[in-house]
Structure 1
């Protein structure tokens, strides 16, 4: 599968022009850049959109948004867009440095409802337990929860969604190639439409894990 990696740079003027005020407005801007190639049946069946993104933040001067999709984006109404194709060999390595913004939750066995996992230690434990299912192993000593934020999104004047985001970073070792490729291409965890789940990875030589 061909993957397109993009960076959208928005200065303060572009943020005002695109009416970026919260996480939902960022979602709106990102999804407006891509054609929705799914059928109505696929949408109802929760088929992935093929779009991932992560807000890298910024300051009063602007912000940067990373995006990855199985199709190229359109030119934005405002801001500067850079796009490149991901090389075929990028996922052929066994070790990577990574960073990922996640929405850590746990499903209640009786009610089936999702509840947020709170606290750095609990989030780290949850991540390490889930890693194998995503196709990689992590050493808890080489992983850290960098930040925990609460994101409020105004879906409508009457509807506000509150979402917890935790940024986790460290090093990983691929344990199951196909599962890892799927995790990278589709994202991991929940709330992927709202900027969670994009595995931002950089290949690492294996010996670097033991030379430090």
Structure 2
């Protein structure tokens, strides 16, 4: 599968034109760049859109959005868009430096509802415990929880969605290449439509002590 990596740069003028106020409006802007190729049946089953994105920060004066998709984006209504195709060898390395914005939750045993994981140490432990299921290993000493914030987004009919986001970074070791590739291609965790789950990685060299 060909993957397209894009960076959408928004200045103050683009911010105003696109009426960006929260992550829901960013979701709207990102998804407007792509045709929805799902069938009606796939939409009813909540099949993944093939689009991942993350807000890399900024404000109304300037903001950068990273996007990865299984198809090329169209021209943006406002802002500047750069797009590259991911190299076929990018996912063949054993070690990566990573950064990821996640929605850390766990299921309440009594109610069955998803509840947020609270606290930096608890979020770090939650991530390390689940890493094997995503095809890689992360040791607690190799990851840090950089920031935690709560997003409130207004959607249709006045409904408000509250979403906790935690940004983690560190070093990972690939343990199951195919599972890791799937995690990278499709994202991990919940809240992917709203800027969570995109695994941003940079290959690290293998460490050798003897030639």
For this structure pair, what is the TM-score category when the shorter chain's length is used for normalisation?
over 0.9
- The aligned counterpart of 2:180 is 180
Which residue of 1 is the match for residue 129 of structure 2? 129
Q: Matched residue of 2:207: which SS?
A: helix
Q: Which 4+ runs in 1 deviate beyond 2 A?
A: none
Specify every segment of 5 or more residues in structure 1 that has no aligned partner in the other structure, as ranges: none
- After the TM superposition, which of the residue ranges 4-13 and 41-50 deviates more from structure 2? 41-50
SS in 2 for 1:165: strand
After TM superposition, the score normalised by the length of structure 1 is 0.96
Per the alignment, in what secondary structure is the counterpart of residue 91 of structure 2? helix
SS at match of 2:128: helix
Determine the C-alpha separation between the residues in 1 that align with 2:206 and 2:157: 51
Partners of 2:60 and 2:42 lie apart in 1 by 39
Aligned to 1:146: 146
1:60: Cα distance to partner? 4.3
Q: Write the distance in 1 (CA, Å) between the matches of 2:14 and 2:181.
A: 34
1:38 maps onto 2:38 in alignment: yes
Deviates more, 1:155-164 or 1:166-175: 155-164
Note the 1:41-120 alignment, pairs <5 A: 41-120=41-120
Counterpart Cα distance in 1 of 2:163 and 2:37: 27
Displacement of 1:43 after TM fit? Answer: 1.3
Aligned-residue CA RMSD (Å): 1.2
Per the TM alignment, residue 111 of structure 1 is displaced from its structure 2 partner at its CA by: 2.0
Q: Find the aligned partners of 2:177 and 2:38 in 1 and give their Cα distance.
A: 27
- Partners of 1:185 and 1:161 in 2: how far apart? 26
Figure out how many residues of one structure are paired with residues of the other and give that number: 209
Q: Report if aligned partners of 2:15, 2:60 keep a CA contact under 8 Å in 1.
A: no
State the alpha-carbon separation in 2 of the partners of residues 35 and 200 from structure 1: 24
Following TM superposition, by how much is the alpha carbon of 1:110 offset from its aligned partner in structure 2, in angstroms? 3.0
| 1:13 CA drift (Å) | 0.5
